[in-house]
A = this chain, B = another copy of it.
Amino acid sequence: MATRTRQSQRRRQMLTRERIVETAVELLDASGDGALTVRALTTRLGTGPGAIYWHIGNMDELLDAAADAVITAALTTPRDEAAATQPDEAATAQPDGAAATHPDRAAATPQDEIRAVALGLFDAIAEHPWLATQLALQITRNPWGPVTLRIFESIGRPVSTLGVPQADWFTTTSTLVHYILGATAQTSQSDETATQTEAGRAEFLATASKAWRDLDPDEYPFMRAIADQMREHDDREQFLTGINLVLTGITTHHQPPTDP
C-alpha cells in the first residue's frame, strides 16, 4: 500500500534535530497551536517518542526551535519578499506611505529599514499564526532568548544609525521592539478561518464594531466613540502608522527641529 512505502521512505532518511523542527513547523502551520504533540510527530516521522527525545530535550525546546527557525528566516529574507508574499492583499490593503516595502537593494534610510524589518515580522506572523502565541510565550518566559536577541539586533542596527546618542540606543530600541511585539501579538488574527477572505474580515470588523457600540455607555464611552474607526481600520496600515509614531517620538526627542 501507499502508506507502507511512504512510511519506509520516511524511515529511510535519517532522523535529525533539523528534520524534527521542520516537521514541527509543518504541523503548526497546518493545524495550529495545539497540533504539535509528540505523538503527532512520531506518526508523521514514523518513529517512537524515544527517538524524538534523543534529539530534543523536551517539548518547550522544540517549540522554541520552531519559532526561532521561522523568525530567523523572516529576518534574513530579502526585504522585497515581505510585500510579495501577500500578492492580492498588498495591492488593495496597502495604503499610502508604505514606500518602505520596496527598496530595490539596501534600505534607503534607517527608518525604511526599521519599517521593513517590522513588516517582515508582521507578515511572518500572518503566515504562521501560531507564531504570535509562541513569541508571546517565549518573551515572557525567557525575555532574552535567541528570538528576542535576533529581533533586537535587527531593529537596533538601523536605530544606531538614526542619530540618537549611543546612551539611548538600548531604550530606544526597546521601545520599538516592544511596540512591534505588542502589535503583532494582537493582530495575528481573531478568527483563523473567518479572517482569511476579504469578506470574512469585513464581517468580523462590522461585528466587533457593533459590539463596541452596544457597550455600556458609562463604562465604555471611549470604545463606543471609536467603534466606527474599528470597522474601517486596516491592521497592517495601523501597524505602520504606529511604527511611524514611535519613530517620530524618537527623532523629535533627540533632534529638535532645525528649521523655524
Residues of A within 8 A of B (CB): 132-133, 136-137, 139-144, 148-149, 152-153, 156-157, 159-160, 166-167, 169-175, 177-183, 185-188, 190, 208, 211, 215, 219-223, 225-226, 229-230, 233, 238, 241-242, 244-250, 252-253, 257, 260
Q: Provide the residues of chain B in CB contact with A219, threshold 8 Å.
A: 153
Q: Is the CB of A229 within 8 A of B177?
A: no
CB-defined A-B contacts under 8 Å, sample of 18: A133-B136, A136-B136, A152-B222, A153-B223, A157-B221, A160-B225, A170-B229, A170-B233, A170-B238, A175-B245, A178-B182, A178-B186, A179-B182, A245-B249, A245-B250, A246-B249, A248-B248, A249-B249
Chain B min CB distance to A134 (Å): 9
CB pair A183 B190 closer than 8 Å = no
Which one, B140, B156, B229, B248, contacts A252 given CB within 8 A?
B248
Check if A173 sits within 8 Å of B140, measured CB to CB: no
Query: Interface SS of chain A: helix, strand, loop or mixed?
Result: helix
CB distance from A10 to the nearest CB of B (A): 32
Instruction: Tell me if B144 and A136 are in contact (CB < 8 A).
Output: no
| Interchain nearest-CB distance for A186 vs B (Å) | 5
| Chain B residue at smallest Cβ distance from A156 | B222
Q: Which of B179, B230, B233 contacts A178 (CB 8 A)?
A: B179
The residue from B246, B253, B257 contacting A179, defined by CB atoms under 8 A apart: B246
Q: Which of A132, A182, A223, A250 has most chain B Cβ within 10 Å?
A: A182
In-complex Cβ contact of A172 among B143, B245, B260 (8 A): B245
Q: Are A143 and B220 in contact (CB under 8 A)?
A: no
The smallest C-beta distance from A35 to any residue of chain B, in angstroms, reads: 15
- Please tell me if the beta carbons of B171 and A233 are within 8 angstroms of each other in the complex: yes
Contact A190 to B144, CB < 8 A, known contacts A153-B220, A241-B175, A248-B253: yes
Q: Which of A159, A174, A246 has the most CB of B within 10 A?
A: A174
User: In whole Å, how far is A173's beta carbon from the nearest beta carbon of chain B?
Assistant: 7
Partner of A133, one of B140, B172, B178, B229: B140
Q: Is the beta-carbon distance between B137 and A137 smaller than 8 angstroms?
A: yes
- Picked from B136, B139, B226, the residue with its CB within 8 Å of the CB of A139 is B136
B226–A175 CB distance below 8 A: no
Given A178-B179, A222-B153, A229-B169: A139 touches B186 (CB 8 Å cut-off): yes
